[in-house]
Amino acid sequence: MARRILVTGGAGFIGSHVAEQFALDGWQVRVLDNLSRAKLLKKPDKNASFNWDHLSRLPGVELIKGSVTDWETVRQAAADCQVIVHAAAQTAVTTSVTDPRPDFENNIVGTFNVLEAARAQSVKPALVFCSTNKVYGENVNGVGLSEGEKRWSFESSMARGIPETFPIDHCEHTPYGVSKLTGDLYMQDYAHLYGLKIGVFRMSCIYGTRQFGLEDQGWVAWFTIASMLGKPITIFGDGKQVRDVLYVEDLVGAYRAFLDSPINHAVYNMGGGPDFTMSLHELLDILKAKTGITPALSYADWRPSDQKVYISNIDKAKAALGWKPTVTPEQGVAKLIDWVGENKNLFA
């Protein structure tokens, strides 16, 4: 019998890459997506349908238009699947602050429905949950920093990055961070209570092709798109904030490594780690070097719960899964530049 995977949010950036890779490897792939991202973030429908149309051309892909907030839809989509990758979510921090209800419904109710659908099956599927570094909230800003010309850096005690044991309590998270943390904890509890194989991946900055970055989400893609289309860029804060960046194909590799492992349950901080980091200014430097473009910049106040530095400590994932990131920031940004250049009509 063919192996079958359900990818919720499969028409999104990360979900579409998961679905594509499993399809190319011979799996039967079910994609569940309601294509709501364009409406939620006030973008054209052609952006929402781009990945959907791309997946429709791949062998073994079944597309289901529906929401993870609908229990019956999720139950039917999950039937007879050996793996579920739960990527469906409301993903923008700013949007969660201005309109928290869709954030709660998608990120909490949707995650609960996925877990219940998995628990209801006689043969329990393995799950991968797309969590976030935002579960650590403003506690990250309590780590000592040093300031350089173009970047902030963690003090030496956190030079390897934030570990999975870092505290998550007694701080502001924003509704997005709270909703994702709720799903994160539910995933962990279902693994313990019901024996489900679950990998929770607390992701830092994931970037790559087919990412329709916006000002409030997906900054590497947004800076690339804006630069190449001659659009102005607003930097919130001082532009020295740093993230570890992970190319999306490396992320899918980490998911596969967990699913192929004998590990039943684990939480992993997931990103490029201390060797693959960029500040906003440093990304602009890479873009200028590769395209010759210097976009118009303006500055605005820091946004709620923005972290001056976030770097994932990925030592646990590297040791347990035999995995490591391979695509450098310069290589990944070059791939993104090529994709944006080939699809400028999508961003007009």
The residues carrying an active-site annotation are: 176
Nearest alpha carbon to residue 112 among 203, 229, 190: 190
Query: Which alpha helices (H) appear in the chain, and where do they start and end?
Result: 13-24, 37-40, 45-56, 71-78, 93-98, 100-104, 110-119, 174-194, 219-229, 248-260, 280-291, 315-321, 329-342
∠ CA 149-286-47, rounded to 5°: 120
User: Which amino acid does the sequence have at 98?
Assistant: T
Q: State the sign of the Cα–Cα–Cα–Cα dihedral 158, 162, 168, 172.
A: positive
Spell out the residues 6+ positions from residue 15 whose beta carbon is closer than 8 angstroms to its own: 7, 8, 9, 31, 33, 51, 85, 87, 88
User: Which amino acid does the sequence have at 15?
Assistant: G
Spell out the residues 6+ positions from residue 122 whose beta carbon is closer than 8 angstroms to its own: none
Nearest alpha carbon to residue 270 among 310, 314, 311: 314
Helix 248-260 with 13-24: angle, nearest 10 deg: 60
Q: Which two tokens stand for residue 295?
A: 């976009």
Residue 312, judged by CB atoms within 10 A of its CB (0-12, 13-18, 19+), counts as buried
CA distance 95 to 89: 12
Q: State the sign of the Cα–Cα–Cα–Cα dihedral 336, 214, 31, 119.
A: positive
∠ CA 142-89-169, rounded to 5°: 25
